[in-house]
Structure 1
């Protein structure tokens, strides 16, 4: 599945030298290193044709070469080159069988590959083999043809069936991954380590007696990407995503709210792997000592029971929560086994703002005088939502100019400067409140990340 394109000059020079001396072992290693560095699977196959199996005698280089071929979709070449009983050969065979429509044989080959090497496990491909669609690329392609089917079940009265006791919304927007979220590299790295890798490599984690699932609480100023991160996390791990709003849980009748919350978790357990996302979690998980009604305290207790109750099995169920006021969330949620990690999602730094602006400007008519570096310098403290508002306001200025002139006017730097005069960062009020809590109510160092951010930003 490699494309016809000229090799990189370094790769081409090494291949020319290899044609003259195909038995030169050090040169063979240099060729493999160059092919992997420049992601050139076609050149690697040319080198293999010149040298034969001797090219891949070194185990480390063989593993790197096979990964390169797998990324390039060269499964037939892998099946031919790799050792017949190796995990790589079995995985390649599984993909070839699946492409031929022989699903049962493909499943058997896939199981053999994972049994031989759990690290080669591919959750997206496994879901395709079982008939479930979780491929991010496939989901996006399907969205191009039309929106994903959403499911919204309304609650009619107190006599609704068990399935109808939950009203959940599966977002119909395009499935997204971390590449669609600008910045936040440290938070992404932590989520990948704690959440996505256990979902994608369950067999490997089982060998270390580590279970997937658990909870992560995201907090920070509004508009900095907490909800976006939750959607991207579900997209990256190919899990079913339940976006739970307050109205899906709260009910005027006694006991109904607790029952709905229980059914949300039960539904997630039945459809695992799954991600449950609670936005504004303080509304149903606020501090019990501040609750005005006993029913609010009961809701928190029910929530805690669902997270790690005696009879609950939340393996392969991930719970994500987001809040702007972490000091209002009941401290019992922070115990390990509930929300294992509490992650600060800060306003984007300069590098992140540059990435976000690139994503926001991509696909719009933009003039050549746009100076992204100047915009970055002038938007310190702006959240991702503020940056979107800035670009949208500049686009409005360009649209107005287009209407006035009768021809399309690109977004120019003058439009951005006009927008900068109108837009103010919305994170400053939150950071002021967070600074006070971090200085005077920082029990156990839970807001140390906020203090570090404030010190770094001055």
Structure 2
């Protein structure tokens, strides 16, 4: 059979099997996309059912989103509506959406969609912006969420502007790039903008697929206004004059230039590379229009981060002293100190800043030669409180 007839036959088989297992009439298949988590989160999970007599259970699942099977049918109900998810992961080259789909009765299809759409809007509240300098946060907001505002997009298009915008977030690890992207992602969910997250693994998987051109193009595509996040895409961004040249850059840039959307798209790239190592072809306007550098936080920003800590923790330490002692620390390192404080508090019922600082320094030495237990361990008699008693 040709690929088309193979797919259509497999599709009919999956839909019919799911409909029979869930008791559905006139079944409709759909991909939930960005609404998948809301759909299964609001639903009551039912039993697993075999697919053509076969059922492969999955013990370890990352979240409720996953049906706990790699080959089988998961049944669900939500407010009296029955639906099912059919999964048949039989080959890595198969298009995932073709062999992992939801099925519902046609009479309930629109009702289910509206129910989930309403639930998605209700459950996502405005999130707290990341701790960044005020001017940097304003620039980030204006060039992403502000750019995607419907009125702004209309004016941009009416005046002949580009319907896409590119941002590059650079800087050493731990200084806010991920937090900034997480906030943008949450705001996309809250406001209804589409989003897509492209990891290096997803990009390489697309390159190795049976139809790499289409698979890569799909990574760069949104159906309406939204943001596409490219996380640590160093393999495609490195300067071809300084690293071994591959065709990854050419494929990447070709897909980037070919983005087509109805209203607008913002693509946000994160990298730990210095700007000098980024390929000049990637940095030209139309691909990257703005670069935001994320550097070590100053005292003001470290204090703002600590001000978000739990009130009990803030009341148990000298915040001014904590800010002074963390000069040169990244956001991630300051947050690790918070975690050490909490673990120590659970052990001792005391907020011990000096212990956390000492433990942090020890943890940054050669861990392969030192074996220490941190948190949830009894304090040995005679311990001096610096970790030697563990």
Normalising by the smaller structure, the TM-score range is: 0.5 to 0.7
Q: Is 1:337 paired with 2:274?
A: no
Aligned-pair CA distance for 1:423: 2.6
CA 1:231–1:367 in 2, change beyond 3 Å: closer, same or farther?
Answer: closer
In structure 2, distance between residues paired with 1:284 and 1:155: 29
Deviations 1:265-292 (A, max 9, x none): 23x2x2x222111111112322223453
Cα 1:224/1:240, change in 2 over 3 Å:
same
Q: Distance in 2 between matches of 1:375 and 1:206?
A: 49
Q: CA RMSD in A?
A: 4.0
Q: Which runs of 5+ in 1 are unaligned?
A: 1-131, 167-171, 402-408, 428-458
State yes or no: 1:376 paired with 2:310. no
In 1, Cα distance between the equivalents of 2:238 and 2:281? Answer: 10
> What are the equivalent positions in structure 2 for 1:258-297 lying under 5 Å apart?
258-266=213-221, 268=222, 270=223, 272-292=224-244, 296=246
Give the aligned partner of residue 160 of structure 1.
94
Higher Cα Rg: structure 1 or 2? 1
Answer yes or no: is the 8 Å Cα contact 1:277–1:320 preserved in 2: yes
Between the two proteins, the alignment pairs up a number of residues equal to 264
- For 1:397 and 1:316, the matched residues in 2 are separated by 48
SS of equivalent to 1:250: helix
- Alpha-carbon distance in structure 2 between the residues aligned to 1:320 and 1:154: 33
Write the distance in 2 (CA, Å) between the matches of 1:192 and 1:206.
20
Structure 2: unaligned runs, 5 residues or longer: 1-32, 46-62, 71-86, 101-119, 365-390
What is the aligned partner in structure 2 of residue 190 from structure 1? Answer: 139
- Does 2:310 correspond to 1:362? yes
Equivalence for 1:94: none
Residue number in structure 2 paired with 1:236: 187
Give me the whole-angstrom Cα distance separating, in 1, the residues matched to 2:362 and 2:174.
Answer: 10
Query: 2 CA distance for matches of 1:218 and 1:316?
Result: 20
Equivalence map 1:383-422=2 (5 Å): 383-401=330-348, 409-410=349-350, 412=351, 415-422=352-359
1:207 & 1:149 partners in 2: Cα distance?
A: 41
Q: What displacement does 1:400 show?
A: 1.3
Which residue does the alignment assign to 1:63?
A: none
Tell me the alpha carbon deviations over residues 235-272 of structure 1, each in whole angstroms, 9 at most, x when there is no partner: 33532222211111114748855543212123x2x2x2
1:276/1:182 Cα in 2 relative to 1: closer, same or farther (>3 Å)? Answer: same
TM-score by length of structure 2 reads: 0.57
d(CA) in 1 for partners of 2:211 and 2:361?
42
Which one has a larger percent strand, Structure 1 or Structure 2?
A: 2
Q: Does 1:325 align with 2:273?
A: yes
